[in-house]
Structure 1
Amino acid sequence: MRIRKLQIAVMSMIVFCGGFFSGVLYSNHNSQLKAEDIKEAQRTPKKDNEKQERSTIPEQEQKSETEQSKVLMGYVQDFRDPNIVNYEDLTHIIFSFAHPAKDGSLLFNGDTAIGNLQTIVAQAHEQDTKVMLAIGGWYHIQGGESYDYFKEAISNPAARARLVTELEGIAAREQLDGIDIDFEHPRTAEDARNLAVFIHDLYGKLHSQDKELSIAVNAKVHSVAGTEIHNVIYEPAMFQDVDYVNIMAYDGQWDGGYNAANLAPYHHVENIVHYWSNLFDSHQIAKEKLILGVPFYAQPEDPNSKQISYAAIINQSSDNASQDTVVMNGTTYHYNGMETVRRKTKLALDNSFGGMMLWEAGHDSNSAQSLTAAISASLEEEQKYPLHANRETES
């Protein structure tokens, strides 16, 4: 019996000592971790701290916030001063343009363009804004339309493979967040097939690097007749292989004879939104990929006059922000003012689009009348109060 009591006493002492020393070891280890955490927190920028605070939100709420988030993508031309870009309100900057050569190589507009790209990437990433590189556009750096160069590059298998490799390489080398394809425009069924193959190959390469792929597309709706434009052709299945489809819902002034008023009026954009919504629904493609584009420039009624920027219009008078037409230098110009871009933003979100796109950020006004800021605020407002937005639509 004494032996049994002695054994129990010894065992109690062992457990007590073990617990004591384990507690000391854990306390020391925990103190070390806290010290390291403090040092790490001191090294962590403010934005990262804000992200860590948001990570404490329940997983279900985090998912809901992610699902509801919308993008605002702004094209920026390669000659723009990187310091004028509104990084804070844009989720994506699309640097424009790199130009495809017929052999699949990639051309830039000199060292200045490369330098501007690198500066934009650095400044954008400080604001948690993504940067994509746009390939193509209407005009080619070697002269004429880009169509012939782009068509040759994606129709020849060797050139197409080289272009994919070039884009994969520059995305990694310049720390880009993705690539935007602006082939203006596929005009035959063969063009459409070659573009689809190219997009499929590029999509796989970019996604393996956790990078995004977008494509700029023609609005596909005649601004006067309201019917589908058939001389621009896309294979709908191709849109499964992109993250965003940037609809160029402007430049309708060329449809049915020159008419500047058809640049991008609201009623025309309604037809565009309905066309793309129905197309994606019929092919069971997520409409969140659809991004509605708006112009930041004005079209002159006199075809011999040049387009002017929204910034120039606001410089004349801040009251012009509430209008869609202005007379300057004896010419009437048509554009989209603040109320129109707000209505278009609501239209896009009411139809389950993924966000908005603008051409071009360098045309915006750096003032309280900024269209970029207006769209950004509208996106935020529409996401905060979707039921309120729907009631307004119904009434």
Structure 2
Amino acid sequence: MPRKTEQFSIILRPPSKVYHFKLAGWSNYKSTQVFFDQHRERFQKHLNCKTKADAQEVVRMAITIQEESKRPMPLSSQVRLIDLLKDAYTWDRCPHVRRLRDEGKAITKRHVQDSRNIIKSHILCCKDFVNKPIAKMRRSDVLEFRSFMLDRVGPRTVNKALSIVKAVIREAIFQEVIDRDPTIGVSKVKLTEKKEPGVFTKEELLLMFPEKGIGPWKSITDHTVFLTAASTGMRRSEILALRWENVNLEKQFINVVEAFKDYRMIEIGKPKWERSRVVPIPKKLVTRLKDLRDQSPYAKDSDYVFCYKDGTHLGGTWWSKHFRSACIAIGVIKAKKKVKENEDPNPRNLTPHSFRHTLNTLLLSNGYDSGKIRATLGWTSEKIQDNYTHFSIDHLNGQSDMVESFFEKDKKNGTN
């Protein structure tokens, strides 16, 4: 009898001590660890790919996935939502994500991962809903799904889940896998009114960043981190990923080319909207950055500008904690100990992102070109910029003087 051809071969690569495998028809070996990380949601437990037994389990899953890809798609009348959700919002396999990437449209790995987490944690729990053929699904089923979700999670999560379902179904229609959309007419649930972000006054900025000393901050690092936020409008993800090689102190600008892409601050990629930009920096910040680099043991081009004593970048908890401490010191936020029952310790909703709102508002109120502001702050449209503009009567006082000057000019010319 002819010898049966093996479906795979597996070898141990000495440098990494991780097993690599090759399926029939493949030209190159692939790391079992990499494959496991890419398809983690298909496995019931964590696998150690340095052991042969676990590596073989990974290979068996690879064979299963390969066989699934060869199966014909079910007829449109039999397609269930769960069939569409199997690869939905996975970076390499989702038809919707892949199409957007091929067309050059903005979509981030963080958004894809967050959406995938909602699918696994919330949508797939509604078994009756996801297992029903879409051809037999009615609008009432979608409304029932929405109510089911509202009983378990908040309205924002419900709306995200509903948006994901809509996107997956519409992509399937676009790809001609199905021919009807039962979600048409189903709206998102109403959210409680979102609190408008607060902005700082000029006087408060002077208290935070006085001409001499470091004000309410505990160290030169703290002071310089938030002075960077206040005077450039850079996002937290951009500031904490900043390296010295992207800071030009001589010509006084920062190249914003990197940012953290996930809330755990592990993955680094391009800034939001995939847009790099150049941000001018004022002399005061230049001086502080020079002082910081002179004092820091991590001053190489590849080092983080703002880091802990071991050279690792600062984290999100550090960012929030030190901002709040400074705000309490200047009296714009109340300490928890001094807050009365049912009192809001931060009624103006001041956050580190308020520096970005403040800079935009002050620049616009002083007549700076809005197009240049959008370029330095990394916005793609005036609509986005409008969300960051918060004029008060103090910002608008100059308008009446300008209007009065129009009439003064007319009087000099003898006209009304």
TM class by smaller structure: under 0.3
TM-score (norm 1): 0.20
Higher helix share: 1
Q: Which structure carries more strand by proportion?
A: 1
The structure showing larger relative contact order (alpha-carbon pairs under 8 Å, at least 6 residues apart) is 1
Normalising by the residue count of structure 2, what TM-score does the alignment of the two structures yield?
Answer: 0.19
